[in-house]
Chains A and B, each alone.
Chain A
Amino acid sequence: MRRALMALSERLARLETRLLQALIATILGLMILNVVSRALRQSLYWVDELAINLMVIAAFVGSSLMFAQRQHFCVTLLRDALPRRGRTWLSLAVQCTTLCFAVFLAYASWLWFDPLTLAAHGFDLDAFFSQTFNSIYREITNTIGIERFWFFFVMPLFAVSLTLHSLASVAEDIGALAAKEPEPC
């Protein structure tokens, strides 16, 4: 179970790596396109909005990857003062905290997307809005012309990937404690 979780997390991290590279390259390309098109007096009005949305997606994809690699900024004063085994226990507590956040985010995304109510209204977006006043499916991007929820989808996906990565980290720490191995980070 532990190995399966860690292998799944690694696979997902590889996918996130490729996606992140593609997103950053696209953002750079879009910004260059903006400069060139402006210089040619042919400004493309949709570029900024697309680049911003791709950056938001890149931020959550990259963040998920960094959680998989345990590379986030944190204050390590207490951890540094602890013996090796104490550090592993503390690491386990931190990973459980991250897991709690991931599960909460999944719940918050569920509330936001409200798929059950949407299904209950036969996926009729107007009826859904009249009933809930939740405009998630009605918001259209200003310049790209597509619904914003396509970009919003990164939030539940981030919640799921973060859940998987933190579960794998929890399993790794429990394994280290059980085997009395040095902690993984």
Chain B
Amino acid sequence: MLTAASFVLLLLMGAPIGILLALSALVFLLDSGNTALLASYALQLFSGIGNYGLLAIPLFMLVGEMMNGGGITRRLVDMARAILGTAKGGLIYVNILSNMMIASILGSATAQIAIMSKVMVPEMEREGYGRAFSVATTTAGGLMAPIIPPSMMFVVYGVLAQISIGDLFIAGILPGLMMAGGFFAVIFLLGLVTPYPVAPRLDPKKRLAMLRDGVITLVIPASIIGSILMGLATPTESAAVAAVMAYLIGRFVTGEFRDRDIPNMLLTAGRNAALVLFMIATAAVFSWVLVYGQVPQRVAQAIQLATDNPIIFLLLVNVILLAIGMIIDGIPALIMVVPILLPVAGEVYGIDPYHLGVVLCLNLTLGLVTPPVGVALYVAASVSNVRAGSVFMALLPFVLVAALVVILLSVFPNLTIH
């Protein structure tokens, strides 16, 4: 009771999520009289992130920085444009397609939305699309980042659930494609109601040049997948391979990469990774304490009273997570709920941890764009200088499609094959 009260109080106060978890764990230890565990507290904090899979987090963040610095993002967008750009409403499809390509390199929705908003929104505005709609489609595209592998959320979940991150990546492929297909359908249907501007025709020579420049950047996702399939690299090491490729392409192909920017890139990647890693460390302590207090077992008993059907359980979880996701950001929310939900889902309802992981990650991704605490929504709105409320209204059809995908995944576990 005291733990729950301190948890809510710290949350409302706006305490950093890591501090909130760490202090709640401490309150629980003191309240339950398990003070002997205090001597192990710092060790638990250290060991909570002593995991090989987590090395992917700083490395993928570095890849994102290097891609931006090397002008690679821009070229990927141009390539998508050369493929689809002249169709009616082509630039919106380009937006989703380039987001899919970037999602296959980056793993963070917020990072991707920040990058793509700078590139796509001015481009769409120039062709006559409304700003809020342009931001909304870019944000929708960014929602695929945590689902299409590699995914930072999957890495975090894989570490928390102690399952194979590579298999989790594979489980995310079909849901990611379903989401992209759903978004294409939304764009097509919206186009029937409000006709889209027609894109100017591209000069064949220019089109060929855009394709040529873009194809070389595909070396990055190809190197990620190729190095894993050829047994040269683990999914974690593939991020290092991607960083090297991003450097080589940015330095010697696009020529936009400046070596003097490297220290800043290292710093940004390190700082952003530290934010996530510290939360994971404190979540590990929180989870360790919860297990001592048999909290998952008590939650399991309470939920079992409501239903013994795994599908209804998952749908219930989805409703709760949607509410949590509206208040707490994706990865912090994941870190907070997995220690409680995973044992219940596995031991009581026999739900496959990979299936649960994909459902949880996709659900919490929606929280990134739903007010009042939709970090990605605010990032997109502030980058493009538009009101978050109007972006959300334009984004609503995409959010509904993504929610439909979550429901389908909850009901049909086979969609998350691995």
Q: What is the interface of chain A, defined by CB distance below 8 A to chain B?
A: 17, 20-21, 23-25, 27-28, 31-32, 34-35, 38-39, 48, 51-53, 55-56, 58-63, 65-67, 71-79, 90, 93-94, 97-98, 100-101, 104-105, 107-109, 111-112, 114, 134, 136, 151-152, 154-156, 159
Contact of B55 among A27, A62, A159 (CB under 8 A): A27
Whose C-beta in chain B lies nearest to the C-beta of A107?
A: B38
Contact of B54 among A55, A94, A156 (CB under 8 A): A55
Whose C-beta in chain A lies nearest to the C-beta of B282?
A: A101
CA distance in complex: A90, B11 (Å): 12
Does A35 contact B237, Cβ atoms closer than 8 Å? yes
Residues of B within 8 A of A31 (CB): 55, 59, 236-237, 239-240
**Contact residues of B: prevailing secondary structure:** helix
Does B274 contact A59, Cβ atoms closer than 8 Å? yes
Does B237 contact A65, Cβ atoms closer than 8 Å? no
Whose C-beta in chain B lies nearest to the C-beta of A19?
A: B270
CA distance in complex: A17, B269 (Å): 12
Contact of A97 among B23, B49, B51 (CB under 8 A): B23
CA distance in complex: A51, B278 (Å): 17
What number of B residues sit within 8 Å (CB to CB) of A?
Answer: 60
Whose C-beta in chain A lies nearest to the C-beta of B243?
A: A28
Residues of A within 8 A of B41 (CB): 105, 108, 112
Q: Is B156 an interface residue (CB 8 A)?
A: no
Does A35 contact B232, Cβ atoms closer than 8 Å? yes
Does B11 contact A75, Cβ atoms closer than 8 Å? yes
Counting chain B CB atoms within 10 Å of each CB, the highest count among A65, A72, A112 belongs to A72
State whether A73 and B270 are in contact (beta carbons under 8 Å apart), knowing that A35-B240, A97-B15, A134-B39 are contacts in the complex. no
Contact of A155 among B39, B45, B267 (CB under 8 A): B45
Does B23 contact A94, Cβ atoms closer than 8 Å? no
Residues of A within 8 A of B273 (CB): 24, 58-59, 62
10 residue pairs from A and B, CB less than 8 Å apart? A20-B271, A31-B237, A35-B240, A52-B52, A58-B58, A63-B277, A71-B271, A71-B275, A104-B23, A156-B42
Closest beta carbon of chain A to B364's beta carbon, Å: 13
Does B18 contact A72, Cβ atoms closer than 8 Å? yes
Task: List the one stretch of B113-121, B325-333, B400-408 in contact with chain A.
Answer: B325-333
Residues of A within 8 A of B279 (CB): 73
The proximity string for B residues 211-242 relative to A, scoring 1 for CB distances below 8 Å and 0 otherwise, is 00000000000000001000011001101110
Residues of A within 8 A of B40 (CB): 112
Whose C-beta in chain A lies nearest to the C-beta of B22?
A: A101
Whose C-beta in chain A lies nearest to the C-beta of B264?
A: A21
Does B232 contact A38, Cβ atoms closer than 8 Å? yes
Does A56 contact B59, Cβ atoms closer than 8 Å? no
Residues of B within 8 A of A111 (CB): 38-39
Residues of A within 8 A of B43 (CB): 112, 136, 152
State whether A61 and B50 are in contact (beta carbons under 8 Å apart), knowing that A35-B232, A35-B241, A90-B13 are contacts in the complex. no
Does B46 contact A65, Cβ atoms closer than 8 Å? no
Does B13 contact A94, Cβ atoms closer than 8 Å? yes
CA distance in complex: A38, B238 (Å): 13
Residues of A within 8 A of B58 (CB): 24, 27, 55, 58
Does B16 contact A21, Cβ atoms closer than 8 Å? no
Contact of B232 among A20, A39, A58 (CB under 8 A): A39
CA distance in complex: A97, B10 (Å): 9
Closest beta carbon of chain A to B274's beta carbon, Å: 3
Closest beta carbon of chain A to B325's beta carbon, Å: 12
CA distance in complex: A159, B45 (Å): 12
Apart from A31-B236, A52-B51, 15 more pairs, CB < 8 Å: A24-B62, A24-B267, A35-B240, A38-B233, A55-B49, A63-B274, A73-B17, A73-B275, A74-B20, A90-B13, A94-B14, A97-B10, A98-B16, A100-B23, A108-B39
- Nearest 9 A-B pairs (CB), nearest first? A62-B274, A72-B16, A31-B240, A59-B277, A63-B278, A108-B41, A20-B270, A111-B39, A24-B270
Residues of A within 8 A of B22 (CB): 101, 105
Does B19 contact A101, Cβ atoms closer than 8 Å? yes
Does B55 contact A72, Cβ atoms closer than 8 Å? no
State whether A27 and B46 are in contact (beta carbons under 8 Å apart), knowing that A38-B232, A59-B281, A74-B14 are contacts in the complex. no
Does A78 contact B13, Cβ atoms closer than 8 Å? yes
Does B49 contact A17, Cβ atoms closer than 8 Å? no
Q: Is B33 an interface residue (CB 8 A)?
A: no
Counting chain A CB atoms within 10 Å of each CB, the highest count among B45, B51, B227 belongs to B45
Q: Is B248 an interface residue (CB 8 A)?
A: no
Counting chain A CB atoms within 10 Å of each CB, the highest count among B19, B236, B241 belongs to B19
Residues of B within 8 A of A28 (CB): 59, 62, 240, 243
Residues of B within 8 A of A39 (CB): 232
Q: Is B193 an interface residue (CB 8 A)?
A: no
Closest beta carbon of chain A to B241's beta carbon, Å: 6
State whether A112 and B277 are in contact (beta carbons under 8 Å apart), knowing that A21-B270, A75-B373 are contacts in the complex. no
Residues of B within 8 A of A32 (CB): 240-241, 244
CA distance in complex: A107, B39 (Å): 9
Q: Is B263 an interface residue (CB 8 A)?
A: yes
Residues of B within 8 A of A27 (CB): 55, 58-59
Does B15 contact A59, Cβ atoms closer than 8 Å? no
The proximity string for B residues 48-87 relative to A, scoring 1 for CB distances below 8 Å and 0 otherwise, is 0111101100110010000000000000000000000000
Residues of A within 8 A of B11 (CB): 75
Does B50 contact A112, Cβ atoms closer than 8 Å? no
Does A58 contact B12, Cβ atoms closer than 8 Å? no
